[in-house]
C-alpha cells in the first residue's frame, strides 16, 4: 500500500516506522526539515517538506494514488483539513486523523466523525483511558487487552513471591474441567510462546493468559491475586490523558481524584469533570499523597506529562501502599526500565494509538490490533473469510511459525479456546497472537489468495 503520514512528531515517526517495517510505501509530510531528515536516516520512507493541510504539499506526496492518509500532527484542525482535502482529491482513500479536543470525540462531541471526513479518529488520550479502565476492571493484572467486544481477554499477570502456584507446572493452572483458558506465553527474560504445560512457575514470571472473563477471574485467584473491586483511583496530572482517564473511570463508578499543579488547569478541568475531585498540588509531593489516602488507593496513575516524573511518582505511590501503580511512558527504551524498577503497569498513549491504524493496513477483515508488554506480542482479531489460509485445516497442520498461535475463536457467540485439532470456519472471529516480526509471514492466514 501507499501511505502518507502527515506529522513528524513522536507518533508520526512511530506510525511511519511500523508501516515501513511492514513493507508499505510510506511518505512523511511535515514542515520540520530536520525531523524529516532524521526519519529518513532511521527508516525507509520518502519525505515532502510542507504543511500537512496544504493541498499542493499533499499532492506532491502522491495523494491521488495513495491508499491511506494518516494525519497525526499536533494540531486537530490541520489533521481535519488534511482529511477533507484527501476526500476531495481521492474519494476512496482511507482517512485517519489524530484528534485531541474532546469536543470532537465521543457521544458529547459537537461534530460527528462523518462530518469531519475521517474514517478513523485516533486519540492517544482515549486509548490510554480505555486501557486504564480495563485494568481497573481486572484486579491483579499488569496488562489487559479485550477482543470480540470484551468476550475474550488477553491478560498479563505477574507471579508474586507469595503465589501458591510457585514451583507448580502451568498445566495445574489450566486443567480445570470446562475452563476456557490458554497460557499463551511466559515472560521470563524472553517470550516463550505456547509454553509446555510442564514448565514450572517461578516468582517474577509474567504469564499471558487468554480466556473469557469468568476464567480470567478464577485463574488470577489461583495465582494468589485478590479480586477486589477497584473503588479508589488517584491520578497525578490533569492534562489531556489525566482528564480522559478520570472521565472513563468516573463513568464506571470508580471514585477518582486528580492532583494537578496548575491552579488554572484545576479550574478548567473541574468544569469538565463533575464526578471527579480535583486537587491543586504536586503529584510527587509525598506528604500530599499520604494525606489524600494513596495508601488506600487500589490504583495510582502517573500522567504528569514527563516520563521521568511519571516513573518517580508511581514508585513513590507504591512505596506508600498503593496497590497497583501505572506510569505513562512513550519512549520505548524507558518502558522495560520502568517495569524493572517496580512500576506495575507501563502504558504508552502514543504506541496504543498506533494499533487502530494497522487494521486498515493489513489484508483481510481486520477487526482490531492490540499489543502486549511494550509491543513484544501483538494480538490481531479478524474475521476468517473463505479461501484464507487459516480456514478448513486443523491448527496443527497450519505450520505457523514459532512465536505465534491462535488464542481464541468466537463462533455464534461461543468463545472457543482452541487446541491443535480445532478447525477454523469461515465467519469465525479469530484472535491470533504473534511476535511483531512474524506478522508479514502470517498474512497468508488472514486473506484469501
Q: Identify the pLDDT of residue 115.
A: 62
Contacts by 39-42, CB closer than 8 A, 24 or more apart: 39/8, 39/13, 42/13, 42/17
Are 323 and 293 a contacting pair, CB within 8 Å? no
Whole-angstrom distance, CA of residue 35 vs CA of residue 38: 5
> 115 CB contacts (<8 Å, ≥6 apart)?
none
Q: Identify the pLDDT of residue 434.
A: 87
Q: Identify the pLDDT of residue 351.
A: 80
Residue 182 has φ and ψ, to the nearest 5°, of -130, 130
Whole-angstrom distance, CA of residue 398 vs CA of residue 187: 25
Contacts by 337-345, CB closer than 8 A, 24 or more apart: 337/311, 338/311, 338/314, 339/374, 341/311, 341/315, 342/315, 342/318, 343/311, 343/314, 343/315, 343/318, 344/142, 344/158, 344/314, 344/318, 345/135, 345/142, 345/143
> Cell numbers 511512558 correspond to what residue?
329
Q: Identify the pLDDT of residue 180.
A: 78
Q: Identify the pLDDT of residue 317.
A: 97
Burial (CB count <10 Å: 0-12, 13-18, 19+), residue 422: middle
Are 382 and 409 a contacting pair, CB within 8 Å? no
Please give the C-alpha separations between residue 287 and each of 221, 284, 322, 426, in angstroms, as whole numbers: 34, 9, 14, 59
Are 6 and 79 a contacting pair, CB within 8 Å? yes
Task: Report all structural domains of the chain as residue ranges with CATH numbers, in order of start.
Answer: 2-122 (3.40.50.720), 153-222 (3.30.70.1450), 232-351 (3.40.50.720), 354-446 (3.30.70.1450)
Please give the C-alpha separations between residue 280 and each of 20, 260, 343, in angstroms, as whole numbers: 44, 5, 25
The ranges of the chain with pLDDT < 50 are: 107
pTM score, whole prediction = 0.86
**Sign of the dihedral defined by the CA atoms of residues 339, 344, 349, 353, in that order:** positive
Amino acid at each position: 500500500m501507499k501511505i502518507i503520514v502527515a506529522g513528524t512528531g513522536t507518533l508520526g515517526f512511530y506510525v511511519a516506522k511500523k508501516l515501513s517495517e511492514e513493507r508499505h510505501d510510506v511518505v512523511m509530510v511535515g514542515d520540520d526539515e530536520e525531523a524529516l531528515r532524521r526519519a529518513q536516516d532511521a527508516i525507509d520512507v520518502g519525505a515532502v517538506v510542507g504543511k500537512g493541510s496544504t493541498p499542493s504539499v499533499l499532492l506532491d506526496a502522491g495523494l491521488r494514488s495513495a491508499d491511506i492518509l494518516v494525519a497525526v500532527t499536533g494540531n486537530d484542525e490541520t489533521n481535519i483539513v488534511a482529511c477533507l482535502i484527501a476526500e476531495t482529491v481521492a474519494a476512496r482513500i482511507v482517512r485517519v486523523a489524530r484528534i485531541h479536543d474532546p469536543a470532537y470525540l465521543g457521544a458529547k462531541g459537537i461534530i460527528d466523525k462523518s462530518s469531519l471526513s475521517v474514517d478513523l479518529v485516533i486519540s492517544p488520550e482515549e486509548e490510554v483511558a480505555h486501557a486504564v479502565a480495563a485494568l481497573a476492571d481486572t484486579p491483579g493484572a499488569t496488562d489487559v487487552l479485550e477482543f470480540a467486544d470484551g468476550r475474550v481477554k488477553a491478560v498479563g499477570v505477574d507471579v508474586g513471591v507469595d503465589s501458591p502456584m510457585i514451583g507448580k507446572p502451568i498445566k495445574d493452572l489450566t486443567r480445570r474441567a470446562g475452563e476456557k483458558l490458554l497460557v499463551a506465553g511466559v515472560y521470563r527474560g524472553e517470550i516463550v510462546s505456547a509454553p509446555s504445560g510442564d514448565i514450572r512457575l517461578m516468582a517474577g514470571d509474567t504469564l499471558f493468559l487468554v480466556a473469557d472473563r469468568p476464567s480470567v477471574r478464577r485463574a488470577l485467584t489461583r495465582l494468589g491475586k485478590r479480586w477486589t473491586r477497584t473503588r479508589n483511583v488517584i491520578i497525578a496530572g490533569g492534562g489531556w490523558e489525566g482528564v480522559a482517564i478520570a472521565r472513563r473511570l468516573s463513568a464506571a463508578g470508580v471514585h477518582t481524584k486528580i492532583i494537578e499543579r496548575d491552579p488554572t488547569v484545576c479550574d478548567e478541568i473541574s468544569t469538565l469533570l463533575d464526578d471527579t475531585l480535583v486537587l491543586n498540588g504536586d503529584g510527587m509531593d509525598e506528604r500530599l499523597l499520604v494525606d489524600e489516602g494513596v495508601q488506600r488507593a487500589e490504583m495510582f496513575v502517573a500522567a504528569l506529562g514527563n516520563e521521568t516524573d511519571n516513573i518517580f511518582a508511581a514508585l513513590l505511590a507504591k512505596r506508600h501502599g498503593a496497590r497497583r501503580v501505572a506510569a505513562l511512558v512513550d519512549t520505548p527504551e524507558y518502558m522495560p526500565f520502568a517495569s524493572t524498577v517496580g512500576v506495575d503497569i507501563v502504558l504508552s498513549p502514543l504506541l496504543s494509538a498506533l494499533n487502530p491504524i494497522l487494521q486498515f493496513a493489513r489484508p483481510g477483515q481486520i477487526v482490531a490490533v492490540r499489543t502486549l508488554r511494550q509491543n513484544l506480542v501483538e494480538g490481531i482479531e479478524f474475521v476468517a473469510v473463505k479461501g484464507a489460509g487459516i480456514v478448513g485445516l486443523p491448527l496443527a497442520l497450519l505450520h505457523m511459525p514459532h512465536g505465534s498461535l491462535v488464542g481464541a475463536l468466537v463462533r455464534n457467540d461461543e468463545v472457543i479456546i482452541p487446541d491443535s485439532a480445532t478447525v477454523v470456519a469461515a465467519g469465525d472471529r479469530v484472535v491470533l497472537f504473534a511476535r511483531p516480526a512474524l506478522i508479514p509471514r502470517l498474512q497468508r492466514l488472514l486473506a484469501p489468495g
